[in-house]
Structure 1
Amino acid sequence: MTNTDPDIRRKAEEIIFGMWDTLTEDERKEISEHLTIEEFQKNEYIYKELEIPKCIKWLISGKVKICKSGVTGRDQILRTIVPSEIFSFRAYFANDDYLTSALSFGHSVVASVPMTIIDKLLHTNIQVCRKLIKQLAIELGKADSRTVSLTQKHIRGRLAESLITLKNSYGLEEDGYTLSIYLSREELANMSNMTTSNAIRTLSSFATDKIIAIDGRKIKLINEEELKRISENG
């Protein structure tokens, strides 16, 4: 659903212009004129695999997951997007269709600018070009590390890493222990490259060892240092 709230639009512009602070007034004006703001509800698609990429996107608020369909039809959660983060532009530069899908974890607001505008901008503003290249390089490095983790770590190590990643991405609630994002067991499994039953058993073992505490979808990190140790040791 398109959002026309002027306050949200201003917030989107602040994020974009803060990230790209070398934009000229004319460049800012052109981006503003072509900027669209959309709202998405839980598990609503922001874009789908095999769609043609048309826009670069920023997450203004909420939580987004990037997924890839596996050979068994089960989605693998590759990474998460946090507010103010830029996404949805790699496929355009690679002349690909989207190889992944982006879905909202919950109510999220996303800003979009057509890639045709961005492509034009990259020819006139070298600093924006450098920042996008840097972002691509960072994402490639994270993807390489993630591949090693998902293929070489044991089940406990993979799930521990996912919990630490969620904490680093979305933080904790006011109690200082509870993850501020509530995922289903299936979503945690998809993020950790394991079956749902293995995710349930591993969470239970973490709870038994008093590393975490579980209350429905709420997960408290009781012993974060031990969780990090398990993640690092694989």
Structure 2
Amino acid sequence: MPINIIYKEDIARTIAVSWQCTSESELKTLVGHMSIRRFKKNDTIYHEQENPTRIFFLVRGKVKIVKESGLGRAQIVRAVKEGEFFGFRAFFANERYATSTIAFEDSTIAALPLKVLATFISTNTHIAQYFIHELANMLGIAGERIISLTQKHIRGRLADTILVLKESYGYESDNATLAIVMNRDDLASMSNMSTSNAIRTLSAFAQEGILSIAGKRIKIIDEEQLKKISKLG
């Protein structure tokens, strides 16, 4: 059997476990309709205002979901981690994509036609329940981020963003350095602030012994203090 088919079966089985698909026919349908594509860093996976045609599953890498502003600047609204689905909200809302999705780094992504997903949902209630849970969870997280980005001061917003990145991507082998390399523009975008403010606030955190900065790498020294800053806003 070709290696790419074996690889597709492994991914399909992972998805099947999440969706509680138990039949071999469902697994064969996943394998038969799934496509796998590799994206380079900064490649766009889908564009804002496109009609959704596929649901995406991040196999390997990191992805950012962005919203274009009227000033020509993109706001990062969500960070996607390995093992997560994305690009499906617009389908359930019966609308065009409200955001674009870009690879943070080289990424491998599986895609499944939405018409196949619709068939699965109509025949397997577990899958419907899965997406109800996912959408509810996304709504809760979005509400928390809105409060953070609109009501907290700069220090609280940046602390929130660093904690979100830690929650999404975890640490390197030293259990302290964030397992994602982000430029200052992206960090500022995700924190709803100017790049200069992000740089100044990062430097302040480093001087206070909360973080350690090495190029684009961020190492959390005092996570409890970071959480305190986040909570105080």
Instruction: Report the TM-score, using the length of structure 2 for normalisation.
Output: 0.96
Give the aligned length. 231
User: In the TM superposition, what is the alpha-carbon distance from 1:229 to its structure 2 partner?
Assistant: 0.6
Name the CA distance, whole Å, in 1 between partners of 2:114 and 2:22: 16
Name the CA distance, whole Å, in 2 between partners of 1:100 and 1:11: 29
Residue identity matched to 2:211: I
Correspondence for 1:108: 107
State whether residues 21 and 27 of structure 2, in contact with CA within 8 Å, keep that contact through their aligned partners in structure 1. no
Correspondence for 2:164: 165
Name the CA distance, whole Å, in 2 between partners of 1:160 and 1:177: 15
User: In the TM superposition, what is the alpha-carbon distance from 1:23 to its structure 2 partner?
Assistant: 4.0
State whether residues 23 and 125 of structure 1, in contact with CA within 8 Å, keep that contact through their aligned partners in structure 2. no
Partner of 1:164, secondary structure, is helix
Name the CA distance, whole Å, in 2 between partners of 1:122 and 1:159: 39
Deviation track 1:47-84 (CA, whole Å, cap 9, x = no partner) reads: 11011100011100100011001111111110111111
Tell me the C-alpha RMSD between the 2 structures: 1.2
Name the CA distance, whole Å, in 1 between partners of 2:6 and 2:106: 17
Q: Which runs of 5+ in 1 are unaligned?
A: none
User: In the TM superposition, what is the alpha-carbon distance from 1:17 to its structure 2 partner?
Assistant: 1.1
Residue identity matched to 1:125: N
User: In the TM superposition, what is the alpha-carbon distance from 1:232 to its structure 2 partner?
Assistant: 1.2
Q: Does 1:97 align with 2:96?
A: yes
State whether residues 11 and 60 of structure 1, in contact with CA within 8 Å, keep that contact through their aligned partners in structure 2. no
User: In the TM superposition, what is the alpha-carbon distance from 1:11 to its structure 2 partner?
Assistant: 3.1
Correspondence for 1:205: 204
Q: Does 1:123 align with 2:122?
A: yes
State whether residues 49 and 98 of structure 1, in contact with CA within 8 Å, keep that contact through their aligned partners in structure 2. yes
Correspondence for 2:56: 57
Identity %: 45
Instruction: Report the TM-score, using the length of structure 1 for normalisation.
Output: 0.95
Name the CA distance, whole Å, in 1 between partners of 2:5 and 2:27: 16
User: In the TM superposition, what is the alpha-carbon distance from 1:180 to its structure 2 partner?
Assistant: 1.0
